[in-house]
Structure 1
């Protein structure tokens, strides 16, 4: 396993896939075909999973940052002999502006520049295809090497001579002030993929920087914490598979929620819930074009639910069968196996999904006017699903794998689905539909108010009949089910803060191993809504300060160590930051 912690990695993306780069210059994760494809570098999950590092040969200190509003990473290595900079990026297509990642060349770019002195630099290229199963055949050519294993070919072009042995390649070069050495690693399908592109690394980096910067300039977020919001919006954009518009939950699989545990899941897929929340966050972050365009993708992927449970997730191109399988080739991050491909949550019933989709549609109603026919049919079908199924138990937002329960958050979001459907009026349904939806909405509300409240606990709990607190009920004021100032709601917020929060990090339930960033940002919003603006601001800024030096969040943070845990970077966490920043902008909190 890489010596780097989860949150110490930089994140590169090109609209098809992502790479993670450690502070010491090692590409420790890359699935070059697409986000959920097989890896060629997986050192993040096992020392033998494959890597590609470029770094000084002697001891060094490293300082890194993204170049402006981009996902182009620059690491400055300082040694006794001098200083060099390493610039890393996944290339965007030449001339790409604003609408990035539509046809990227699938090339990983690396450039070393001498800044002072003369620094010995070493390069080690050790791909391990299909999640570490295969050491590939390597063929050397004039400007580099080509490596092939089954359907995947990687072609490296280098400005320095390479030494090849046993399927790996290495190089050593001394880089002086003003000197540049470059590497380009292109992915092509072995059969029918054509020739890899010829890459001028300097020009490709400049083009990629300008593409990201042009996207950022086109989105003028007007609220609080603009730098944090822009960075989070860039991360969400980087997690978007541009051919379909699917936003993956994270770039990785099987990074643990707790070291040594087996709570390791594959997050390289699109959850309808996450996607709906992403659309709202993109609008908040002044990305209405992306939000409106991507909403039609929801309709295409979900289809018409009919009498079956609403599909909750799918892969980046819309396939729903994500059956889990265990990988025996990788030991897992820090030995925290198993490592999984696929996610069996696709089989679950999660009744909150219609509410998230209809709420996103209501937020984006101006972008959906006139409403496309397939979107109208989807929203009406989801409202019917909520009216029909709200009284059923489900797996809940946290995707419990033991038994189904009557989760309060699921009921609340069924109410949201019906409430938003009624608000759409005859644009969505007939007068008879509206009357039926309104009646079901009122039934749901009455059930939650009666059965969700536990007088013995003094709070709304996670499920009907349960005494266990659950942070997911913090959504109740955020979706308009109850005002945060309602006596019972305020008591719930206070109790969750007292019992589930530590250092501003909120656990999902008692015994949850770490603070869940999504729930933590929910508490920020609830505090603002009850009028505690100064505390909300302090908590928000404390959470933002827990991001990595590159402004990246995983799913969770250990309150004791500050270490980030779970798959990385996590779209949910960045979405929640955007939402919280916008709510702070629109409450009575004093301006910055």
Structure 2
């Protein structure tokens, strides 16, 4: 039976990932990449759409589970009347084709176990042809996909096209290991390396990576777990970073806000990169910078909000009618129509992150300088246009205040980079553009009666994106307009958390902006942005309370989805959500006040216009 969204843990190999439920079932996995079709899609239907369960016979959820410290290796423990058993799940960092290793280990007594594998290629639609290769291997094939299941024990396996199952038992000290390996159907399957070596190598990889974290404040374990999660969302071959590993987990149970998040949003990627940079992870910034240049190569007018993990542009949104959806939430979508939207804020996000990378010591080559110049040339002509905004609304385009402010950020960061690189030819135009945008926003985006910034020009709607203002440098920290906007954001509160946006005094109409059916939960990143604002405006204790409230709704292994329903106490939306984990790490930094010099990008000293006073060597400090 498919679990709640918060019942799932993540394992991954930096090219794809799988979700493992509390009951020992892998209900979601795409192969060979994050954005490939799923071979286990029970998460969006039922077990007949693909899953692989290993658990004690007749048992339900495990008694406890956790990751090995500072790793992405999952251990689940069942305590039964016959004894105790531990299942260890991992995906070794890729050396070829993706593989899942599942080790069953007897802890005490003797426990009767069952493995039940149901492969379904093409997002749960195709039942493969399956055959026994020998007493310890089973092969499945359909079209371009094939997979081989191997075990190190002589099991009496029942094999049909629809499922492969076996009953076995383990006593204290005994181990049975299963390895499922996917490969293209035209490539002969090869035997994998020793599973104990795979486990040891995977543990070593993650602990070496986690050990580089610069954060040394309170909640270190929480921060490291979120950073490991963000690293797991990185597509290692190209440096792209996906927003989540799932598709169509609903923002409202039974609603239609079911989106495919297995792609690289420029906005989400830049947020993630900024977070990794301040935590000490420079290599990821270099890889992402190279991915960016390849992905956006071409005319700046063709810039997309999102790309595939390899930089592909065609991400056509389709519907999968054979999948009934998570708890009946339809339609189930693959691909994302937001790829064709105009979202002006991404230009500012990209330039802000490139500048952060520059300050962290990442070399900016001529291709990136050309990219910056082309972006600015485009923005100079188009920043006055309406767009779809940060929330990618599928209704009419509007003059979103956040998009205008991020256009200001683009001009501001371009000026700073031009200064650093000695490129002053366009500086006067960019300076004039920066001032014009600022004046425009203060004239049309500020509501004097409400004392806050609004969602879009002519609206009275409050939007949580305004909570990002303090870290952008658009206004100085003590400005009354920042404090007024922070106070207005309290109206977005819902049982201790924040919604994304709402009509003034009427949160029940929160979705009037896009006209889509169904309510949604509170947005976890927005709640954390609110905590950030509280911290920087002198309300640190209240900010800490909000931060710890969000920590309390993480699942048992520290994962957050996109949203939280405080009434039903359920996580909602795709899992794990990069936006949520990035915001968690940034809030920990904001509350603790960790300063790590130019590597962290956490300086002070803004002028009244939001610019920085301090410099470090030849690199100017960036407003965060």
Q: TM-score, normalised by structure 1?
A: 0.94
> In 2, are the aligned partners of 1:105 and 1:197 still within 8 Å (CA)?
no
Equivalents in 1 of 2:493, 2:477: separation in Å?
A: 18
The answer as to 2:3 corresponding to 1:4 is yes
Q: Is residue 58–residue 79 contact of structure 1 (8 Å, CA) maintained in 2?
A: no
1:186·1:196 contact (CA, 8 Å) conserved in 2? no
Moved more, 104-113 or 249-258: 104-113
* Matches of 1:198 and 1:371, distance apart in 2: 40
Deviation string 1:231-279 (CA, Å, 9 cap, x unpaired) is 1111111011111111000000000000010111110000011111111
Query: Which whole-Å CA distance do the structure 1 matches of 2:297 and 2:527 have between them?
Result: 33
What are the Cα deviations for residues 463-482 of structure 1, in whole angstroms up to 9, with x where unaligned? 01001111111111221112
Uncovered stretches (5+) of structure 2, i.e. residues with no partner: 512-519, 596-624
Q: Does 1:472 align with 2:465?
A: yes
- Structure 1 residues 73-152: aligned runs within 5 Å: 73-92=74-93, 101=94, 103-142=95-134, 143-152=136-145
Task: Report if aligned partners of 1:131, 1:329 keep a CA contact under 8 Å in 2.
Answer: no
Are 1:515 and 2:510 matched, yes or no? no
User: Are the aligned partners of 1:497 and 1:506 in contact in 2 as well (CA < 8 Å)?
Assistant: no
Whether contact under 8 Å (1:309, 1:349) holds in the other structure is: no
Structure 1: runs of 5 or more not aligned? 93-100
Q: Tell me the residue number matched to 2:287.
A: 293
The answer as to whether partners of 1:322 and 1:344 remain within 8 angstroms in 2 is yes
Is 1:188–2:195 an aligned residue pair? no
Equivalent residue number for residue 36 of structure 1: 35
The residue that corresponds to 1:96 in the other structure is none
Partner of 2:169: 174
Contact residue 528 and residue 587 of structure 1 kept, 8 A: no
Rounded Cα–Cα distance in structure 2 between residues aligned with 1:209 and 1:562 = 33
TM-score between both structures, scaled by the size of structure 2: 0.89
Q: 1:324-363 CA deviation, whole Å, 9 max, x = no partner?
A: 1111111110010111110010100000011111111222
Report the alpha carbon displacement of residue 428 of structure 1 after superposing the two structures with TM: 5.3
Q: Deviations over 1:504-549 (max 9, x none)?
A: 3443334252111111111111111111111111111111121111
Match of 1:226 in 2: 220
Whether the 8 Å contact between 1:91 and 1:105 is mirrored in structure 2 is: no
SS, match of residue 427 in structure 2: helix
Shift of residue 451 of structure 1?
Answer: 0.6
Offset at residue 367 of structure 1 (A): 4.0
- Describe how 1:390-539 pairs up with structure 2 within 5 A: 390-427=383-420, 430-509=423-502, 510=507, 511=510, 513-539=520-546
Cα distance in 1 for partners of 2:422, 2:332 equals: 46
- The reply on whether 1:284 has 2:278 as its aligned counterpart is yes
Aligned length: 576
- Are the aligned partners of 2:291 and 2:311 in contact in 1 as well (CA < 8 Å)? no
- 2:246 pairs with 1:239: no
What is aligned with 1:554? 561
CA deviation after TM superposition for structure 1 residue 587, in Å = 7.9
Query: For 2:240 and 2:492, how far apart are their aligned partners in 1?
Result: 36
Give deviations 1:109-134, integer Å, cap 9, x for gaps.
00110011111101101111111211
User: Could you tell me which of 231, 243, 260 is aligned with 2:254?
Assistant: 260
Alpha-carbon spacing, 1:59–1:167, altered in 2? closer, same or farther (3 Å): closer
* SS of residue in 2 equivalent to 1:282: helix
**Counterpart of 1:431 in 2: which secondary structure?**
coil
Deviation at 1:489, TM superposition (A): 1.9
Aligned to 2:73: 72
